Structure 1
Amino acid sequence: MTNREIPRASSADDDVAGLTAAVAGLAGLVADSGTIEQLLTEVASFAMSAVPGADGAGVTVVEAGRHDTIVASETFVRDVDAIQYRLGEGPCISAAATGSTNSSGALGEDASWPTFGPLAAELGVHSALSLPLVFNGDILGAINVYAHARDAFDGSSRGIGEKFAAPAAVAVHNALVLNEAQQTALRLETALKTRSTIDHAIGIVMSRTGVSASDAFIRLRIMSQHEHVKLAVVAQNLVQESTRRARARVRDAHADEGA
């Protein structure tokens, strides 16, 4: 997946054009291939392109009170966001907690975030605009837009950012749904492979000992408990051992034929 380049806005008409292009780009994100991190990074890149005055943007997805997925369009954004999440303080934290837009044009002197602000200013970041990602009343996380200049985001920037955040929330929701579906499919595939391996191991025990399938399964469970490893690992080791023995017998047979 490649990040799309959108011209930065420089006039009222360009602002609208930039927002329109960014929103149009969001519509195709889930159809693209890529990881959840790549998809969210594209959202961050679109946000930076859409909001006038932005030097970088990031997206964080909050689940069960944790900042689970954090991506950034620029390296310095990741550094700034890392400070926020470490401190539990900052415009993004506030936006994700309240569902309201937060902004600052002088982070170093902003009393709203007395610890985070000066640390961000030390990195040369003085302006921030954090936009909550709200879908069907649920706060998914926030988009964080930053600038090195002071007072980089005026009312127009905030308005455009909020207009962008609404479709961005839909794109993030869709990306999360797609990711969950992919993870579910992967877990199912893994479970089926594990079940197949256990069934194979049961067959091996039955052929070696002559016991029933239920007794063979009990023996595998006893081995699992005795060796303090998962049943699937015991089964996999048994199947691999059986495979090695079978290959060794074939090699020996070939060697005898050639003698």
Structure 2
Amino acid sequence: MSTPTDYEELATRLAHMARDLLQQKSVQDTLDRIVEYAVQLIEGCSDAGILVLRKRQQVETLATTSDRVRESDRAQGEEAEGPCFDAANGGAHIYRIADLSESQQRWPRYAPRVRELGYGSMMGFLLFTEQDNLGALNLYAPQPSAFTERSEQAGWILASHAAIALSSARTEADLHTAISTRQEIGEALGIVMERHKLSESQAFDKIRKASQDNNTKLREIAHHIIHTGETPGAS
């Protein structure tokens, strides 16, 4: 039975985790730290992973603590069933599967494969904010009934902090990309203006036309111009 001291210690560790996640330098670093913390902080958890369901129902593993988790994600994708698919199709934001040996009727193809990997129970949480659905955090244990109500409560708090940190990391990464793109396009414009004696608007039209003609992103055309001095397809 948990004592108030247990909860105070968990709250302290979760607060430390929240600060640490916000200090990570990249989206991938944030993802990797989330799964590490899941194993450290969630009672019963031996492995953890984050996956996302892309368009056309393709499963992509974003971070794991073991190759077995990656195999579990692959099984979900290949069999097109499992907790990730249930959640994506309007299922619960939280699930706790006490015994995977009893899930064969629910997931007749996926459940045997995840059991063969050595897992007896699972728990998972959607990572989401009001603006974004960021994927799912899946937790694994080798024995059945490894996860308790306290595990679920702690997992929900962890997932909530993780979603905020991940969303913040993605926003910052998008901002850096946007700034970098603008700088590269500006540099490429200067090269085209100087080389072809064009105005800024004429140079931009030239770069945009090269992007359209070559079915290539504007940033990639700018990158090519910066490194070669040539505009693709220009006479």
2: CA distance between counterparts of 1:69 and 1:137? 21
Correspondences of 1:9-28 after superposition (within 5 Å): 12-13=2-3, 16=7, 19-28=10-19
Task: Check the 8 A contact 1:36/1:179 in 2, yes or no.
Answer: yes
Distance 1:21 1:47, change over 3 A: farther
* Root mean square deviation, CA, Å: 3.7
Distance 1:107 1:160, change over 3 A: closer
Structure 1 counterpart of 2:108, one-letter code: P
Structure 1 counterpart of 2:100, one-letter code: L
Q: Is 1:78 aligned to residue 78 of structure 2?
A: no
Structure 2 counterpart of 1:128, one-letter code: M
Structure 2 counterpart of 1:124, one-letter code: G
1: CA distance between counterparts of 2:121 and 2:155? 18
Structure 2 counterpart of 1:144, one-letter code: N
Deviation for aligned residue 1:240: 6.8
Deviation for aligned residue 1:61: 4.7
Task: Check the 8 A contact 1:130/1:143 in 2, yes or no.
Answer: yes
Correspondences of 1:142-221 after superposition (within 5 Å): 142-153=136-147, 157-206=148-197, 213=199, 217=203, 220=206
Task: Check the 8 A contact 2:94/2:124 in 1, yes or no.
Answer: yes
Q: Is 1:133 aligned to residue 127 of structure 2?
A: yes
Three-state SS of the structure 2 residue aligned to 1:203 is: helix
Distance 1:67 1:22, change over 3 A: farther
Deviation for aligned residue 1:223: 9.1
Give % identity. Answer: 20
From 210, 222, 225, give the equivalent of 1:232: 222
Correspondences of 1:30-179 after superposition (within 5 Å): 30-61=21-52, 70-96=62-88, 97-110=90-103, 111-136=105-130, 140-153=134-147, 157-179=148-170
1: CA distance between counterparts of 2:195 and 2:177? 27
Task: Check the 8 A contact 1:223/1:234 in 2, yes or no.
Answer: no
Task: Check the 8 A contact 1:220/1:235 in 2, yes or no.
Answer: no
Task: Check the 8 A contact 1:140/1:169 in 2, yes or no.
Answer: no
Task: Check the 8 A contact 1:91/1:128 in 2, yes or no.
Answer: no
Structure 1 counterpart of 2:50, one-letter code: V
2: CA distance between counterparts of 1:141 and 1:219? 39
1: CA distance between counterparts of 2:205 and 2:45? 64
Deviations 1:89-114 (A, max 9, x none): 21233345423422223324412211
TM-score (norm 1): 0.68
Aligned residues: 223
Deviation for aligned residue 1:25: 2.9
Deviation for aligned residue 1:63: 7.0
Deviation for aligned residue 1:128: 0.8
Task: Check the 8 A contact 2:184/2:223 in 1, yes or no.
Answer: no
Deviation for aligned residue 1:138: 6.5
Three-state SS of the structure 1 residue aligned to 2:22 is: coil
Unpaired stretches in structure 1, ≥5 consecutive residues: 1-10, 207-211, 242-259
Distance 1:195 1:137, change over 3 A: closer
Distance 1:46 1:126, change over 3 A: same
1: CA distance between counterparts of 2:204 and 2:125? 56
